[in-house]
Structure 1
Amino acid sequence: MLFNSFEFLYFFPLMVLGFYLLNHRYRWLWLLLGSYYFYASAEPVLLVLLVASTLVDYFCGLQMAQTATQKIKKWFLAASILINVGLLVVFKYLLFFTHSFLGVLDFFGIAIATTDVSQTYHINQILLPVGISFYTFQTMSYSIEVYRGNIPAEKHLGKFALYVAFFPQLVAGPIERASRLLPQLKKKITIDTQQIEKGLIMMAWGFFLKLVVADRLGIYVDQAFSDPTSPHGIALFLGSLFFSFQIYYDFSAYTAIAIGAAKVLGFDLMHNFNRPFFSTSSMEFWKRWHISLMYWMRDYLYRPLVVNLKLTRLQAVLMVFFVIGLWHGANWTFVLWSMLNAVLLIVEVASLNMRTTLFKKYKIPKKVINGAGAVIILGYLMVSLIFFRSASIGQALVYIEHMFNLKSLHINILGNYLELFLCFVFIGLVQTVHYYKGNNKIYELVLNKTSAIKSLAYIGYIVLIILFGVHRQNTFIYFQF
């Protein structure tokens, strides 16, 4: 079920009404059933995988809690990780790995038709479960934390299942930790009108980001990337720039709606963005972008690689970003996008002392350094995201080659200057709001204002959505991951 669908318009109010009308003891069941319906509405059979992942980690968690033998604990942790990773491999990466392996064989002169393999083993008929990358990582983090002794194993199967399947963040995060979400699922929640108002404002902001801004930018981006050999280099450049903002607004829109929906129900989800496009360095950017995933990688991959496997920081960073690339999708374009960002991060860290010395020597003002850093980060991100957006590495290289063809000044590839103007206006508006309020305090724009100002704000919002919304029920970009 899409947040920006008509189905969600009646589903969510019904969930909220039922939640607050029910006795506290039964609310978890209401949310669990609603979450399963939310997930199964698109493809009911895929609910089996969600339930299977839940049962595996629930059972492994109990077994680790009940044994004092470290070796047995490791076996159950290994079982949890292998089964969850196995689900990802089979349902997300099997066709990709098969084609990659056959490509290697072909390089060495051993040719096997990929169509024959796909048809023989029915690989091409395997469905990609929505949100599988998110909920498998969430359940694995629970198993790891139980193994480390940081949290107790959850004995209530229903509440653990709700932790895995909680509908606001089920499909595209944030990737929650059991230590944060499970205690909230057990506490008694009373009606807090201010929290509900905050949540509704966050949801409204998310819908604005998606319907008015991200989907509008997507129209120009789709047109630009549909013809990477276009002679209009500036238009391609603009398409790449717009995609950088589109993917940010699209993903942060989902996060805002998820956080807002949870807040209406009395729960607090972690924030996934912290004004990333105001970052002045690569390291700062990755601390502000997709925060829940980056914290997951830090705690469950980077540190074990450095501490347990004794890898160098350089090796660990390369491994982490390789996994981040694969996590985003079964295509080498995602891996190359991620590794390009890893290279920038490594170069930035390695050159830190040299750059600091040069800046002091030539007395370059801090504002100039930060401003230049912000431009470089955005520019580098914009170019690297061409690989993220393109269907193949070859197509991305062609796009980049033609993007620097500056012979043509034509940018209006949509044939509509108003739409192009609106793209710039809404980017400026959103960036201004994020600069002053960040990604997590949007409600301060309206909350605690007079009734007259609130009324004007709500009417203005409705008018904006009606007049400027792109009402095509476009799926969220991160749904594919």
Structure 2
Amino acid sequence: MLFNSLDFIFFFPIAVIIYYVLSHKHRWAWLLGCSYYFYMQWDITLVLLLITSTLIDYFCGMKMYKSTNQSIRKTYITISVVANLGMLFFFKYLGFFSESISDVMAYFGSTVELDGEGLGFSYGNILLPVGISFYTFQTLSYSIDVFRGKIEPERHLGKYALYVAFFPQLVAGPIERASRLLPQFYKKIELDIPEIRKGIILMSWGFFLKMVVADRLGVYVDHVHGDPSATPGLPLIIGMYLFGFQIYYDFSAYSIIAVGAAKVLGFDLMNNFNRPFYSANSTQFWQRWHRSLMQWLRDYLYKPLTRNLKLSISVSLLLVFFINGLWHGANWTFVVWGLLCAIFLILERATLSFRNKLVDALPFNVSHKMRNILWGAVTISFLCFSLILFRSSSIENAFRYIYHMFHINAFYFNILNDLFEIVLIIICILFVQIVHFYKGNDKIYELFSSNNIAVRWSLYVLFISIMVLFAFNRQNSFIYFQF
């Protein structure tokens, strides 16, 4: 079920009303039922996989907690990790790795085919479960934390199942830790109108980011990526930057709708974005972008690599961003994108002293703030450039886009033949970036709550009018649903 669909517009108010009518001890069951119903709207069989993952990790968590034998504990954490990553590999990566191995073997003259036909199926027919990358990492973090002794296992199977399937953040995060979300299911939540109002404002802002801004940018981006050779030069450069903003607004829109929906129900989810486009460098960007995933990679991959295996920072970063790229999709475009980001981050760290000396040698003074702004612009430009790979369906198509991007033979950019839309795109980006500079996504409700009732309702009416007049009614899926 898409957030930006009529189904959700009917589903969510019913879910909220019945939730607050029910007594506290029965609410978890209602939310679990709503979550499974929400997920089944894509495909009813997907819930079976979700339940399987839930039962495996619940069982392994209890066994690890009850045993003092380290060998037994290692057995059950291995079962959890292998089962979860095994399901993720089968549904998301089996075809990709099989085709890649076949290509490598063919290069060396082998005719062995690993296409699955011998087993009576085609990789293309394997259904990719929506959100599997997100809930797999969420359940893995639970099992690893239980194994490390950081948390006790959740004894209530129903509430653990709700932790795995909680519908606001099930499909595209944020990836919540058990230590943060599970205790909230035991909290006795009262009807809190101011908090509900905050949640609705956050959700509305998310709908605006998605339906008015991100989807509008997507029209231009789809056009230039559809046939780069037809619009060489400046339009491709503009499209490169616009996709950077599109994916940011699109994904942060889902995240803030999830945070708002959870807040309406009385729960707090983490803010997944912290104004990443105002970062001073690449390190800061990755601390602010998709924070729940990057913190997961830091705690469960980067730290073990550097502390336990004693790998260097550079090697660890390459491995982490390789996994980061692969997590995003079963395509070499994502892998190369991840490695490019790692290389830029490594070079940024290695050249910091040299860059500072270079700037100090200039005949005029460059303030620390200006250095941050300039390097921040370089960082965002590089990241938008790297996203050409993210957006392209193949390495070949990405190279084709880059090749034509540098063939500037004119300054024509109005490829939509609609100057009003181009102006509207610029206005939307400027408006959102100004709002993000002062408030970010998570504090957007302060723009409304800090005013008196007359101003507040005037803003509500203005906002609704803008949504009605300028929203794209295409019910586009969120970009991160494919991961």
Same structural fold, with TM-score higher than 0.5 when normalized by the shorter chain: yes
Equivalent-residue separation in structure 1 for 2:28 and 2:255 (angstroms) = 22
Encode CA deviations 1:139-175: one digit per residue, 9 max, x unaligned: 0000011111111111000000000000000000000
- Note the C-alpha offset of 1:441: 0.5
Tell me, yes or no, if the aligned pair for 2:280 and 2:372 is still in contact at 8 Å.
Answer: yes
Please name the residue that 2:452 is paired with.
Answer: 450
Tell me, yes or no, if the aligned pair for 2:340 and 2:386 is still in contact at 8 Å.
Answer: yes
Please name the residue that 2:200 is paired with.
Answer: 200
- Note the C-alpha offset of 1:310: 1.9
Between 1:364-373 and 1:270-279, the stretch displaced more is: 364-373
User: Which one of the candidate residues 383, 387, 409 is aligned to 1:381?
Assistant: 383
Equivalent-residue separation in structure 2 for 1:373 and 1:269 (angstroms) = 32
- Note the C-alpha offset of 1:230: 2.5
TM-score, normalised via structure 2 length? 0.98
Please name the residue that 1:232 is paired with.
Answer: 232
Please name the residue that 2:405 is paired with.
Answer: 403
For the pair 1:354 / 2:354, whether they are aligned, the reply is yes
Please name the residue that 2:431 is paired with.
Answer: 429
Amino acid at match of 2:481: F
For the pair 1:30 / 2:46, whether they are aligned, the reply is no
Matches within 5 A, 1:98-113: 98-112=98-112
Equivalent-residue separation in structure 1 for 2:13 and 2:118 (angstroms) = 44
Q: Cα distance 1:103–1:118, how it changes in 2: closer, same or farther (>3 A)?
A: farther
Amino acid at match of 2:192: D
Equivalent-residue separation in structure 1 for 2:179 and 2:319 (angstroms) = 27
- Note the C-alpha offset of 1:439: 2.2
SS at match of 1:170: coil
Equivalent-residue separation in structure 1 for 2:228 and 2:108 (angstroms) = 31
Between 1:103-112 and 1:26-35, the stretch displaced more is: 103-112
Please name the residue that 1:470 is paired with.
Answer: 472
Please name the residue that 2:157 is paired with.
Answer: 157
Equivalent-residue separation in structure 1 for 2:322 and 2:63 (angstroms) = 32
Please name the residue that 1:96 is paired with.
Answer: 96
Equivalent-residue separation in structure 2 for 1:356 and 1:64 (angstroms) = 51
Amino acid at match of 2:350: A
Tell me, yes or no, if the aligned pair for 1:19 and 1:31 is still in contact at 8 Å.
Answer: yes
Amino acid at match of 1:385: L
Equivalent-residue separation in structure 1 for 2:360 and 2:61 (angstroms) = 53
Q: Cα distance 1:118–1:474, how it changes in 2: closer, same or farther (>3 A)?
A: farther
Equivalent-residue separation in structure 2 for 1:414 and 1:129 (angstroms) = 35
Unaligned runs of 5+ in 2: none
Equivalent-residue separation in structure 2 for 1:210 and 1:266 (angstroms) = 24
Equivalent-residue separation in structure 2 for 1:120 and 1:25 (angstroms) = 48
Please name the residue that 1:441 is paired with.
Answer: 443
Equivalent-residue separation in structure 2 for 1:144 and 1:463 (angstroms) = 48
- Note the C-alpha offset of 1:119: 8.0
Equivalent-residue separation in structure 2 for 1:17 and 1:133 (angstroms) = 31
Please name the residue that 1:46 is paired with.
Answer: 46
Please name the residue that 1:413 is paired with.
Answer: 415
Equivalent-residue separation in structure 2 for 1:160 and 1:290 (angstroms) = 24
Encode CA deviations 1:232-256: one digit per residue, 9 max, x unaligned: 3101111111100000000000001
Equivalent-residue separation in structure 1 for 2:119 and 2:2 (angstroms) = 32
Matches within 5 A, 1:109-188: 109-112=109-112, 117=117, 120-188=120-188
Equivalent-residue separation in structure 2 for 1:478 and 1:457 (angstroms) = 30
Please name the residue that 2:191 is paired with.
Answer: 191
Equivalent-residue separation in structure 1 for 2:458 and 2:471 (angstroms) = 19
- Note the C-alpha offset of 1:74: 1.1
SS at match of 2:45: helix
For the pair 1:329 / 2:368, whether they are aligned, the reply is no
Equivalent-residue separation in structure 1 for 2:19 and 2:121 (angstroms) = 45
Tell me, yes or no, if the aligned pair for 2:91 and 2:128 is still in contact at 8 Å.
Answer: yes
Equivalent-residue separation in structure 2 for 1:126 and 1:98 (angstroms) = 13
Between 1:233-242 and 1:209-218, the stretch displaced more is: 233-242
Please name the residue that 1:479 is paired with.
Answer: 481
Amino acid at match of 1:300: Y
Amino acid at match of 1:442: I
- Note the C-alpha offset of 1:265: 0.4
Equivalent-residue separation in structure 1 for 2:369 and 2:132 (angstroms) = 42
Between 1:224-233 and 1:292-301, the stretch displaced more is: 224-233
Please name the residue that 2:265 is paired with.
Answer: 265
Tell me, yes or no, if the aligned pair for 1:232 and 1:410 is still in contact at 8 Å.
Answer: no
Amino acid at match of 2:19: F
Please name the residue that 1:314 is paired with.
Answer: 314
Matches within 5 A, 1:61-80: 61-80=61-80
Q: Cα distance 1:395–1:119, how it changes in 2: closer, same or farther (>3 A)?
A: farther
For the pair 1:81 / 2:81, whether they are aligned, the reply is yes
User: Which one of the candidate residues 343, 366, 373 is aligned to 1:364?
Assistant: 366
Amino acid at match of 2:445: Y
Equivalent-residue separation in structure 2 for 1:204 and 1:121 (angstroms) = 44
For the pair 1:289 / 2:289, whether they are aligned, the reply is yes
Encode CA deviations 1:324-382: one digit per residue, 9 max, x unaligned: 00000000000111111100000011112222334445442113211211210111011
How many residues are matched?
A: 481
- Note the C-alpha offset of 1:118: 8.2
TM-score, normalised via structure 1 length? 0.98
Between 1:186-195 and 1:253-262, the stretch displaced more is: 186-195
SS at match of 1:405: coil
Encode CA deviations 1:214-240: one digit per residue, 9 max, x unaligned: 000001110110002234310111111
Tell me, yes or no, if the aligned pair for 1:233 and 1:404 is still in contact at 8 Å.
Answer: yes
Amino acid at match of 1:11: F
Q: Cα distance 1:63–1:116, how it changes in 2: closer, same or farther (>3 A)?
A: closer
Equivalent-residue separation in structure 2 for 1:306 and 1:218 (angstroms) = 39
User: Which one of the candidate residues 392, 395, 414 is aligned to 1:393?
Assistant: 395
Please name the residue that 1:221 is paired with.
Answer: 221
Tell me, yes or no, if the aligned pair for 2:224 and 2:231 is still in contact at 8 Å.
Answer: no
Equivalent-residue separation in structure 1 for 2:134 and 2:54 (angstroms) = 13
Tell me, yes or no, if the aligned pair for 1:118 and 1:124 is still in contact at 8 Å.
Answer: no
SS at match of 1:442: coil
Between 1:282-291 and 1:222-231, the stretch displaced more is: 222-231
Equivalent-residue separation in structure 2 for 1:76 and 1:119 (angstroms) = 30
The alignment's C-alpha RMSD in Å is 1.3
Please name the residue that 2:280 is paired with.
Answer: 280
Equivalent-residue separation in structure 1 for 2:60 and 2:117 (angstroms) = 35
- Note the C-alpha offset of 1:117: 4.0
Tell me, yes or no, if the aligned pair for 2:94 and 2:123 is still in contact at 8 Å.
Answer: yes
SS at match of 2:449: coil
Tell me, yes or no, if the aligned pair for 1:200 and 1:261 is still in contact at 8 Å.
Answer: yes
